[in-house]
């Protein structure tokens, strides 16, 4: 299995050194490069094409929000994982819209970061619990204002079940075990239901499930 190539973007040298020291001990992850501002990040990411970018939000020249947008426009396959000091940062909702695949608070445990890197590399979304709660509240409020209908867009009962499990962060193999079906069948249902609700990734599935009241995340 090939290593996950990670690019580190943060304007604090000591923090970058700490992350590099941590990840150097992980056998399936390698640091491909680093940058201290958004402008340098964009240039190096375009050149190096890492699998995952660890992106600080507040950086000189170009902030993490703009850098994320610009990178995803040119390199949509690059996954971006946001690193932030605050779980109530005003940019968090915008980062999802910009194309980020998840968030980790800088005070999180080291294994949380490693897990997040692996998850987003596989195409999943990693939501730190406190940030997930904020998103729940935000989308529930928007759903109330918009008078979201109870319709679930023609989903079958099985697709309904699988959608809830996807929104809760479960992988195909986990869902297959819970429902006593094959992982291939889960993937087929997943493809169908995402087409029906117009979702392109797990982030959009989470938003949809919250709006429809199909799932809730624990406090």
Note the pLDDT tens digit of each residue in 83-110.
877 655 455 666 777 788 878 888 878 8
For residue 85, what is the domain's CATH number? 3.40.50.2300
pLDDT the model gives residue 100: 84
Residue 87 lies in a domain: yes
d(CA 152, CA 86): 34
- Where do we find the tokens 């939000």? 57
Residues 113 and 165 in one domain: no
The pLDDT, as a whole number, for residue 71 is 92
Is 82 a domain residue? yes
Rounded to whole angstroms, the Cα distance separating 54 from 121 reads 12
Residue 47 pLDDT: 93
**In 3-state terms, the chain is what percent helix, strand and coil (to 5)?**
50, 15, 35
What CATH number is associated with residue 189?
Answer: 1.10.10.10
201 and 108 within one domain: no
Range of the domain at 50: 4-126
In a domain, 56, yes or no: yes
Which residues of the chain fall short of a pLDDT of 70?
1, 86-94, 127-153, 211, 213-219
For the entire predicted model, the pTM comes to: 0.63
């Amino acid at each position: 299995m090939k290593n996950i190539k990670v690019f580190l973007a943060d304007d604090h040298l000591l923090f970058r050194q700490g992350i590099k020291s941590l990840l150097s001990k992980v056998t399936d992850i390698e640091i491909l490069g680093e940058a201290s501002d958004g402008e340098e990040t964009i240039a190096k990411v375009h050149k190096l094409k890492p699998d995952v970018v660890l992106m600080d939000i507040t950086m000189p020249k170009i902030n993490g929000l703009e850098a994320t947008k610009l990178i995803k426009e040119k390199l949509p396959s690059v996954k971006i994982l946001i690193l932030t000091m605050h779980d109530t940062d005003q940019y968090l909702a915008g980062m999802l819209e910009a194309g980020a695949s998840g968030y980790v608070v800088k005070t999180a445990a080291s294994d949380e970061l490693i897990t997040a890197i692996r998850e987003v590399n596989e195409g999943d979304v990693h939501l730190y619990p406190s940030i997930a709660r904020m998103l729940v509240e935000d989308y529930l409020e928007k759903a109330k204002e918009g008078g979201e209908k109870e319709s679930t867009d023609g989903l079958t009962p099985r697709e309904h079940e699988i959608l809830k499990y996807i929104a809760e962060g479960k992988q195909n193999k986990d869902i297959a075990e819970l429902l006593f079906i094959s992982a291939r069948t889960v993937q087929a249902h997943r493809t169908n239901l995402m087409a029906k609700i117009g979702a392109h990734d797990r982030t959009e599935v989470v938003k949809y499930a919250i709006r429809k009241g199909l799932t809730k995340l624990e406090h």
